[in-house]
Structure 1
Amino acid sequence: MPFKVAAFYQFAALPDFRELREPLRAIGAGLGIKGSVLLAQEGINGTVAGSDEGIDALVHELQHGALFGGRLDNLELKFSTAGDMPFQRLKIRLKKEIVTLGDATVDPTRQVGTYVEPSEWNELIAAPDTLVIDTRNAFEVAMGTFEGAVDPGIKSFGQFKDFAAEKLDPAKHRKIAMFCTGGIRCEKASAYLLARGFSEVYHLKGGILRYLEGVPEEESRWRGECFVFDERVALGHGLRERSDGSHE
Structure 2
Amino acid sequence: MTDTPDLTAASDQASAPQLTSTAASARPSPLAPQHVVCALYKFVTLEDFEALRDPLLAVMNEHAIRGTLLLAREGINGTVSGSRAGIDALLAWLTSDPRLAELDTKQSLAEQAPFLRAKVKLKREIVTMGVEGIDPRHTVGTYVEPKDWNALISDPEVLLIDTRNDYEVEVGTFAGAVNPNTTAFRDFPDYVSRELDPTQHRKVAMFCTGGIRCEKSTAYLKEQGFDEVYHLKGGILKYLEEVPEEETLWQGECFVFDERVTVDHQLRPGQYDQCHACRLPITEEDKQSERYQKGVSCPRCYDKLSDAQKARFAERENQIRLARERGEAHLGMDAVAQMQARRDAKQQQREAARRAALEASKKSGEKS
- TM-score band, normalised by the shorter chain? over 0.9
Q: 2:62 aligns with which of 18, 26, 30?
A: 30
The letter for the 1-side match of 2:222 is L
The letter for the 2-side match of 1:178 is M
**CA distance in structure 2 between the aligned counterparts of 1:227 and 1:191, rounded to whole angstroms:** 24
**Bigger relative contact order, structure 1 or 2 (CA pairs below 8 A, ≥6 apart):** 1
Match of 2:180 in 1: 152
Does the aligned pair in 1 maintain the 2:211–2:232 contact within 8 Å?
yes
Match of 1:184 in 2: 212
The answer to whether the aligner puts 1:62 opposite 2:94 as a matched pair is yes
Deviation at 1:72, TM superposition (A): 1.5
Does the aligned pair in 1 maintain the 2:136–2:216 contact within 8 Å?
yes
The letter for the 2-side match of 1:25 is L
Match of 1:16 in 2: 48
Deviation at 1:60, TM superposition (A): 1.6
Does the aligned pair in 2 maintain the 1:214–1:238 contact within 8 Å?
no
In the alignment, structure 1 segments of 5+ residues that lack a partner are: none
**CA distance in structure 1 between the aligned counterparts of 2:206 and 2:175, rounded to whole angstroms:** 13
More helix by share: 2
The answer to whether the aligner puts 1:228 opposite 2:256 as a matched pair is yes
Larger radius of gyration: 2
Match of 2:113 in 1: 85
Q: CA RMSD in A?
A: 1.1
**CA distance in structure 2 between the aligned counterparts of 1:75 and 1:162, rounded to whole angstroms:** 30
**CA distance in structure 2 between the aligned counterparts of 1:20 and 1:103, rounded to whole angstroms:** 25
Deviation at 1:41, TM superposition (A): 0.7
Q: 1:173 aligns with which of 190, 201, 208?
A: 201
Write out the 4+ residue segments of structure 1 that deviate beyond 6 Å after TM superposition. none
Does the aligned pair in 1 maintain the 2:110–2:268 contact within 8 Å?
no
The answer to whether the aligner puts 1:96 opposite 2:124 as a matched pair is yes
1:84-163, aligned counterparts within 5 Å? 84-163=112-191
**CA distance in structure 2 between the aligned counterparts of 1:32 and 1:26, rounded to whole angstroms:** 10
The letter for the 1-side match of 2:57 is R
Q: Deviations over 1:187-246 (max 9, x none)?
A: 110011111111111100110000001100000000000000000010011212226746
**CA distance in structure 2 between the aligned counterparts of 1:197 and 1:170, rounded to whole angstroms:** 6
**CA distance in structure 2 between the aligned counterparts of 1:17 and 1:109, rounded to whole angstroms:** 17
The answer to whether the aligner puts 1:215 opposite 2:247 as a matched pair is no
More strand by share: 1
Match of 2:106, SS state, is strand
Q: How many residues align?
A: 244
Q: 2:83 aligns with which of 51, 73, 98?
A: 51
**CA distance in structure 2 between the aligned counterparts of 1:195 and 1:74, rounded to whole angstroms:** 25
Match of 1:238, SS state, is coil
Match of 2:361 in 1: none
The letter for the 2-side match of 1:21 is R
Deviation at 1:74, TM superposition (A): 2.5
**CA distance in structure 2 between the aligned counterparts of 1:194 and 1:49, rounded to whole angstroms:** 34
The letter for the 2-side match of 1:211 is Y
Match of 1:40 in 2: 72
The letter for the 2-side match of 1:113 is G
How high is the sequence identity, in percent, across the aligned residues?
56
Match of 2:266 in 1: 238
